[in-house]
Amino acid sequence: MERNSAIYQTYVKILQRELLPVMGCTEPIAIAFCAAKAREVLGLLPERVLLEASGNVIKNVKSVIIPHTGGKKGLEAAAAIGIVAGDAAKDLQVLCNVQEEDLVKLDQYLHSASIEVKPAQSDLVLDICVSVFAAGQSARVRICHQHNGIVLIEHNGKILLQAEPTAHTNKSDELDYQSLTVENILDFAKTVKIEDVREVLERQIQYNTAIAEEGLKNDYGANIGKVLLQADGTAVRNRARAKTAAASDARMNGCDLPVVINSGSGNQGLVVSIPVIEYHRELGLPQEKLYRALVISNLVALHLKTGMGRLSAYCGAVSAGVSAGAAIAYLLGGDMEEIAHTLVNSLAIASGMVCDGAKASCAAKIAVAVDAGLLGCEMFREGQQFYDGDGLVLKGVENTIRNFSILAREGMRETDKTIIGLMTGYC
């Protein structure tokens, strides 16, 4: 791929846009960010808060522990910590400056303030609106599509900012995600100048490895990572599963270490990176090979999620796990054929696993997703594959991706509504 081509520049910018550091699960952090911004606009500590959120946001905030809250869960706690101690200038690291004394303020605020939660009256899957009131004044901030995508800022009824809630809100340019194909991604990965992607990939390696080590060291959630190591040993295949699961153990259960996300998700950011890092380490390959493999895993995951949608009933760990499998196929010497068949095989294995919100069991689902990616790779290396007509599999990797995208985006829409209704009572 020519480095001065539009596609090359688009892919570099997509990686820079998407591979962001976030402390904590992205949905409660997005609420905290929105609430912190609303308080900033109000200029006062709110006496009353109205939080409106889409069903998928509610689902992903209900059961996950929010960092720097003393183990609290839920939408009210996410909004409250953003209001009393969040720094909106820090974007999705809004809680990075929370101090121990802020926990007392949080408890007091949750006791004294009126915080009302309602389902958002829109069809958007990622929609957060925080309205705050104090001393006869009001402010309102709304986020759509992107976890930091502010589309509305209002103060005392006066609109300070308003934008169309497009998929890449609050960005100065519109990048062509539709240009992502497996063939283009591989071409880009082979030819990219490493300096163009080194910074974002090094940060992903550093941050995501650190939280995996923390997850194995200490007690978080159901300790899936530790269970896997104890049950199945330390061969690279199991280490890839265990370390990734351990990172999610920590992240879903209040660890304050940042994670570099993919497709707006920290768990997906962990899955596209940690198994690839572990296999690279086992194979003893040059560092440049790791960067190129991570380009593949990150961009393939973004390609899949472009068609599937960022939030749905389809567990995002699956799309990330199959993408990691494709990158590992590349590390093992594979080219387009091996990568394409790995993706097709892997999608056929695990697609359909449902998302019932962010919580401790995400770590176990991650282990399943990584396993599917690895099995898809191992199948083709052993001369085995799924064929056109096997369920949703079609001839050609892009055709198969399209089928599974329709399944996730459209076929599981009613499933999503049922899951949200069963979980929350809000919808």
Q: What is the pLDDT of residues 212-247, one digit of tens each?
A: 999 999 999 999 999 999 999 999 999 999 999 999
Q: Rounded to an integer, what distance in angstroms lies between the CA atom of residue 140 and that of residue 118?
A: 15
Decide: 392 and 404 in contact? Cβ < 8 Å: yes
294: helix, coil or strand? helix
Q: What is the pLDDT of residues 11-48, one digit of tens each?
A: 999 999 999 999 989 999 999 999 999 999 999 999 99
Q: Which stretch, 58-67, 278-287, 305-314, has highest mean pLDDT? A: 278-287
More confident residue, 168 or 141: 141
CA angle 4, 285, 239 (to 5 degrees): 115
Q: Which fold does the domain 23-162 belong to in CATH?
A: 60s Ribosomal Protein L30; Chain: A; (3.30.1330)
More confident residue, 149 or 170: 149
Q: What is the pLDDT of residue 86?
A: 96
How is the beta sheet containing 137-144 ordered, strand by strand? 114-119, 48-53, 127-134, 137-144, 150-155, 158-162
Average pLDDT over residues 169-190: 84
When mean pLDDT is compared across 190-199, 302-311, 318-327, 337-346, the lowest value belongs to: 302-311
CB hemisphere CA count around 172 (13 angstroms): 1
Inform me whether the pLDDT recorded for 261 exceeds 80: yes
Phi and psi angles of residue 73, each rounded to the nearest 5 degrees, phi first: -125, 165
Q: What is the pLDDT of residue 173?
A: 54
Q: What is the pLDDT of residue 375?
A: 98
Inform me whether the pLDDT recorded for 172 exceeds 60: no
Q: What is the pLDDT of residue 171?
A: 45
Could you give the C-alpha distances from 209 to 65, 129, 149, 320, in angstroms and in order?
Answer: 21, 34, 28, 16
Q: What is the pLDDT of residue 293?
A: 98
Burial of 425 (0-12, 13-18, 19+ CB in 10 A): exposed
Average pLDDT over residues 391-420: 94
18: helix, coil or strand? helix
Average pLDDT over residues 110-127: 93
Mean pLDDT across the chain? 94
Q: What is the pLDDT of residue 312?
A: 86
Question: Residue for token digits 């993919």?
Answer: 262
Average pLDDT over residues 298-318: 94
Sequence ranges of the domains in the chain: 23-162, 177-424
Burial of 401 (0-12, 13-18, 19+ CB in 10 A): buried
Model confidence, pTM? 0.92
Q: Rounded to an integer, what distance in angstroms lies between the CA atom of residue 370 and that of residue 328?
A: 11
Neighbours of 89 (CB within 10 A): 11
Q: Rounded to an integer, what distance in angstroms lies between the CA atom of residue 186 and that of residue 292?
A: 9
Quote the tokens at residue 62: 């209900």
Chain Cα centroid distance, residue 248: 11
Inform me whether the pLDDT recorded for 426 exceeds 60: no
Could you give the C-alpha distances from 308 to 218, 302, 304, in angstroms and in order?
Answer: 35, 10, 6
Decide: 237 and 374 in contact? Cβ < 8 Å: yes
For 177-424, CATH number out of 1.10.3470, 1.10.4100, 1.10.287, 1.20.120 equals 1.10.4100
Closest CA to 346 of 410, 401, 266: 401
Q: What is the pLDDT of residue 170?
A: 38
